[in-house]
Structure 1
């Protein structure tokens, strides 16, 4: 097995899980319009022994012990899968630039996982195909959240808006995008555990809610293919998680009302929260909502708000 580079770097963007109406089934990648890199970066380099270094704005929020870091766990998992194919992975130095807040609802753990697996796979001449990698990413993500799901790892890896199939191949389908939609996201600065946010949900869903969920998801996908923005926006209401999770998000109702008054077509919780998102069809409204959220929804100095688009491509890889 040959390698073409001594160092490989992968950047994986932030993502919105659920997209309100698609609990565990829909995800969307995010790219700020101002050029901010909203996501995590992992660099893999040849070395004499395994190691992990961590930098970035939110590095101090991670466990100090390297073995507890999901990026090093990704290396161990990748090595196991390679050994199962009769291939050897030598010692490596991994470097994580942690730029997404933990427990933010922006796919923070998924971004690190996607960047790690993408960098490792590319570093060794891509031994695993797209679906195999996604299955590996989802399994590692499940170790953190308590259940295997792909609505963050898939869009972060592939870009665009993704629909999870529930089968091993293809793991995810890419959906058409509304080209004129802007996605304003705001992280409050607080933290919500994904596993805790799942625990707050009921174990069973009422039949009427299940019917609404199925109707909304089906109509939404149809509307995307028809490029019917008005119909798609009408479907973006969460009947599964938001009624229960909004109590974990101080100021959510006020933020939703303010966004709607400023022209938001839809408003919801990104993943498990506390990040919220607003969909608009023009940049001016998006910026107005972002400013209101910065002033009223952000709770401390770690919070932020960005006006984003959904990029058509996810992972970015560079070798040297």
Structure 2
């Protein structure tokens, strides 16, 4: 039996639309992410368990886990019956890399179980392809950090991604309000064209942010976390975002942004007391129902791991 855990992730990290992603884990070490267990079987069986399993399609052939199994069957040139159990701990359409977590966990579990011994690059390409089935296009800003850990810069099709440094004292407060937001809706709302001025400023913000990370200029990095490509157009899709950001900054948080396509938001603090106050405030003022949650997180540098 094989069991793999793949952590949640923050796509974009504010300034890096589609080219930056970070794996996160709660400071209380709880497993914020999906798990996939594989057992030998006489027939193909796929079971969904976990708090958010009810959100998955009832037809198992529409489940991304099934599509992952089919890819490995093609690699092996034969269909091998197994039992796959998906523990769905991340809500779908949350902006926390929910599909990426399932994809990473299932891909690594199948690679381990079938002993295919695929390279990291090959595994990443499979993960990107599977992500494309869900989002409509291949992208790696969630699968790469969930798989490899840390903050990942997506480079190109050949190298795919590379881990970049991040400030160790940063605490990442993530808050999911308890409602879904379709990734396709979040993407469709974006303009098809941008002015030269916006493109130049976005490039300046991103390049300076990366420079600040490598030169350990924390204040400069925080100052440059300004997105002009996606966030301004997605803010109307999130209730009370402007109010929430204003209050978090007033409390002492350093920044506040939309996580991935939303509706999860993330805020960065470099003080544990302020992080705890921010967490309490978000629980009272941002969550829309009992399903919502708020975690104080740190960067997960390990990425996906085998639990059994």
TM range (shorter): over 0.9
Q: Which residue of 2 aligns with 1:139?
A: 129
Secondary structure of the 1:314 match is coil
Q: Which residue of 2 aligns with 1:209?
A: 198
Task: Output one character per residue of 1:33-74: Cα deviation in whole Å (capped at 9) or x when no partner.
Answer: 012210000011111111100110001111111111111111
| Inter-partner Cα distance in structure 2 for 1:277 and 1:103 | 15
Aligned match for 1:97, one of 71, 87, 92: 87
Q: How does 1:1-320 map to 2 (within 5 A)?
A: 7-83=1-77, 88=78, 90-168=80-158, 170-319=159-308
| Inter-partner Cα distance in structure 2 for 1:81 and 1:204 | 40
The Cα of 1:122 is off from its aligned counterpart by: 1.5
| Inter-partner Cα distance in structure 2 for 1:315 and 1:278 | 23
Give unpaired runs (5+ residues) of structure 1: 1-6
| Inter-partner Cα distance in structure 2 for 1:61 and 1:270 | 20
Task: Output one character per residue of 1:151-180: Cα deviation in whole Å (capped at 9) or x when no partner.
Answer: 000010011000001222x21100012010
Q: Give the direction of change, closer, same or farther, for the CA distance of 1:126–1:160 in structure 2 (3 Å limit).
A: farther
Secondary structure of the 2:249 match is helix
TM-score relative to the length of structure 1? 0.94
The Cα of 1:81 is off from its aligned counterpart by: 2.9
| Inter-partner Cα distance in structure 2 for 1:205 and 1:132 | 34
| Inter-partner Cα distance in structure 2 for 1:187 and 1:204 | 30
Counting matched residue pairs gives 308
The Cα of 1:89 is off from its aligned counterpart by: 5.4
Task: Output one character per residue of 1:217-272: Cα deviation in whole Å (capped at 9) or x when no partner.
Answer: 11111111111111111111111111110111011111111111111211100000
TM-score relative to the length of structure 2? 0.97
Structure 1 stretches of 4+ moved >6 Å: none
